[in-house]
């Protein structure tokens, strides 16, 4: 069974299906603002069928009790199939999400394949304490067991990668999953489904249901058959899902928004920091949860840094994302671009000065696309919305600071805590920033890299739990303590504290 490029369906219990109502929704190319595909719009019954299929596959033990090596090998087969089809996936991701082809071919695809290989390897090495006699006369051991049915809800900014970050550690540890991809970007998730089928993963273990978050996502959060929600997306929707999941007390793992500070101290290599700022701010068209967004620059180097940054931003090529020479494609939707433009306006109304950008370029052949120029606003108002809220667009806010202490205090003064960077040659200052910045990742003299072996996790309202690294597998397992009596005695030495007297 497979899925052709002309027929994107849902995957339930190993079968490609339409919505029970026959309804479909349009999927757009954001670089043209034109429809490219239609996918099913699920009914509540479709979601429930997927949950039932996941539950019965889990209960059958065919995957959940398979030896770790069997699960690892199946995931490794997916990695190889994905690697072999990487160009097609990269093209499709670029077409559907507007990411540049440069990024999808050289970063998203090879990195996602590496993520899968790492996760597959870790399926065979789950952590626990050594089996030992922690109580005299008894041996204790730990088992790690899958949680059950995991509802995975993903965002549109890394459609394929976020499925892998969330669903693959769940699969590696023996869970069954129901995935709801973002409504804007379901295509690579569906194509990935065909690779999982080819890899021999049993029917019902990996299900895909497409449709609106308010219906599909909410049903996953509420339904008693779902044991855990793994959500990557905005802080607002994450909070809503926690609320919906609370009556069934299901586990909710949240990876949410970010608002990364980028601290440039007076002794930093200004050329390297300006270069790092462009890349940190514009990766994924400025729609990355780790994008550097707030530039805290020491007063003595502010002018020089900003000049270097503006010069570099002026040479950024905004254009057709399928053109390998484009540095930046469109934003995901007309509505999202309006929201970002609203922030640019607000930033100025709240005292900021527009240094560059703010316009919506027309790209030949892509007149309907949702493009926006890289935009830089200098502000001295730290309460400004552009400093405090996640914009999720190519908007740089520059703010003058007088010391590292001030930068750390201001850097921490947001609700988010995902990624942060500090640029300095002074090791003492770097280590102080590493210690005091309340963020899940702190980069020193770089911004963006996260190897598969290291955790990606939020502090504060950026969520909790971890993707990547060995910690990501912990997310999807229960820890079971098993205790073996070694004495064989009817009356154990400690029984007197409940019943009878001490011998």
- Say how far apart CA 369 and CA 322 lie, in whole Å: 13
Q: Is residue 394 a contact residue for ligand NAD (CB under 6 A)? A: no
Among the residue ranges 177-185, 316-324, 362-370, 479-487, the one whose residues contact ligand NAD (CB under 6 A): 177-185
Q: Which residues contact 297 (CB under 8 A, 6 or more apart)?
A: 264, 305, 306, 398, 399, 400, 401
- Say how far apart CA 453 and CA 470 lie, in whole Å: 7
Q: Is residue 388 a contact residue for ligand NAD (CB under 6 A)? A: no
CB of 461: closest distance to ligand NAD in angstroms? 10
- Say how far apart CA 305 and CA 396 lie, in whole Å: 13
Which residues, 277 to 316, sit near ligand NAD by CB under 6 A?
289
Q: Which residues contact 329 (CB under 8 A, 6 or more apart)?
A: 30, 31, 94, 98, 99, 100, 285, 318, 319, 320, 321, 371
Among the residue ranges 321-329, 398-406, 426-434, 455-463, the one whose residues contact ligand NAD (CB under 6 A): 455-463
Residue 373 annotated to the active site: no
Nearer to ligand NAD, 176 or 235 (CB): 235
Q: Is residue 157 a contact residue for ligand NAD (CB under 6 A)? A: yes
- Say how far apart CA 214 and CA 439 lie, in whole Å: 30
* Interface residue with ligand NAD, options 164, 237, 274, 283 (CB under 6 A): 237
- Which one from 93, 255, 390, 475 is the annotated catalytic residue? 255
Nearer to ligand NAD, 202 or 458 (CB): 458
- CB-CB contact of 314 with 279 (8 Å): no
Q: Which residues contact 10 (CB under 8 A, 6 or more apart)?
A: 16, 17, 18, 19, 39, 40, 42, 46, 50, 190, 207, 208, 209, 210
Q: Is residue 429 a contact residue for ligand NAD (CB under 6 A)? A: no
- Give residue for tokens 């997927």: 50
- Say how far apart CA 14 and CA 194 lie, in whole Å: 9
- Say how far apart CA 423 and CA 401 lie, in whole Å: 14
Give the interface size with ligand NAD as a residue count (CB under 6 A): 32
Q: Is residue 146 a contact residue for ligand NAD (CB under 6 A)? A: no
Which residues, 197 to 236, sit near ligand NAD by CB under 6 A?
213-214, 217-218, 232-234
Tokens found for residue 156: 């549109």
Check residue 253 and give left, alpha or beta (phi > 0: left; psi -120 to 50: alpha).
Answer: beta
Residue 83 annotated to the active site: no
* Interface residue with ligand NAD, options 257, 261, 286, 393 (CB under 6 A): 257
* Interface residue with ligand NAD, options 202, 258, 281, 411 (CB under 6 A): 258
Among the residue ranges 187-195, 237-245, 274-282, 345-353, the one whose residues contact ligand NAD (CB under 6 A): 237-245
Note the residues at the interface with ligand NAD (CB under 6 A): 153-158, 162, 180, 182-183, 213-214, 217-218, 232-234, 237, 240-241, 255-258, 289, 390, 392, 418, 456, 458, 462-463
């Amino acid at each position: 069974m497979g899925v052709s490029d002309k027929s994107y369906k849902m995957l339930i219990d190993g079968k490609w299906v339409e919505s029970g109502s026959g309804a479909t929704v349009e999927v757009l190319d954001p670089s043209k603002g034109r429809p490219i595909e239609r996918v099913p719009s699920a009914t509540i019954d479709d979601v429930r069928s997927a949950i039932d299929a996941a539950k019965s596959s889990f209960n059958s033990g065919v995957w959940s009790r398979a030896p770790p090596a069997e699960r690892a090998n199946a995931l490794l087969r997916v990695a190889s199939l994905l690697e072999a089809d990487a160009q097609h996936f990269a093209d499709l991701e670029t077409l559907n999400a507007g990411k540049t082809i440069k990024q999808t071919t050289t970063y998203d695809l090879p990195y996602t394949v590496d993520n899968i290989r790492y996760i597959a390897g870790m399926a065979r090495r789950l952590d626990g304490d050594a089996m030992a006699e922690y109580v005299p006369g008894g041996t204790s051991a730990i088992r790690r067991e899958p949680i059950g049915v995991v509802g995975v809800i993903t965002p549109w900014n890394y459609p394929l990668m976020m499925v892998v970050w969330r669903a693959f550690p769940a699969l590696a540890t023996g869970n069954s999953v129901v995935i709801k991809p973002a409504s804007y970007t379901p295509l690579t998730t569906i194509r990935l489904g065909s690779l999982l089928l080819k890899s021999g993963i049993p029917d019902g273990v990996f299900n895909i249901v497409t449709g609106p978050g308010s219906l599909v996502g909410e049903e996953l959060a509420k339904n008693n058959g779902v044991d855990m929600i793994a959500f990557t997306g905005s802080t607002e929707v994450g909070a809503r899902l926690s609320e919906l999941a609370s009556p069934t007390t299901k586990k909710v793992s949240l990876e949410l928004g970010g608002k990364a500070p980028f601290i440039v101290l007076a002794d930093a290599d200004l050329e390297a920091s300006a270069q790092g700022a462009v890349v940190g701010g514009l990766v994924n068209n400025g729609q990355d949860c780790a994008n550097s967004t707030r530039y805290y620059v020491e007063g003595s180097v502010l002018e020089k840094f900003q000049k270097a940054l503006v010069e570099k931003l002026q040479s950024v090529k905004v254009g057709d994302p399928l053109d390998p020479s484009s540095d930046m494609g469109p934003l995901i939707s007309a509505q999202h671009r309006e929201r970002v433009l609203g922030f640019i306006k607000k930033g100025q109304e709240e005292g900021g000065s527009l240094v560059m950008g703010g316009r919506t370029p027309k790209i030949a052949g892509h007149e309907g696309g949702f493009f926006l120029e890289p935009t830089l606003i200098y502000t001295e108002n730290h309460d400004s919305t552009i400093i405090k809220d996640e914009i999720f667009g190519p908007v740089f806010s520059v703010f003058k600071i007088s010391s590292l202490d001030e930068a750390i205090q201001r850097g921490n003064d947001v609700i988010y805590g995902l990624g942060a960077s500090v640029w300095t040659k002074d090791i003492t200052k770097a280590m102080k920033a590493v210690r005091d910045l309340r963020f899940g990742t702190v980069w020193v003299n770089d911004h963006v890299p996260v190897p598969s072996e290291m955790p990606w996790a939020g502090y504060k309202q950026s969520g909790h739990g971890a993707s990547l690294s060995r910690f990501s597998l912990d997310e999807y397992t229960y820890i079971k303590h098993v205790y073996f009596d070694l004495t064989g005695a009817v009356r154990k030495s400690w029984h007197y504290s409940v019943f009878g007297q001490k011998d």
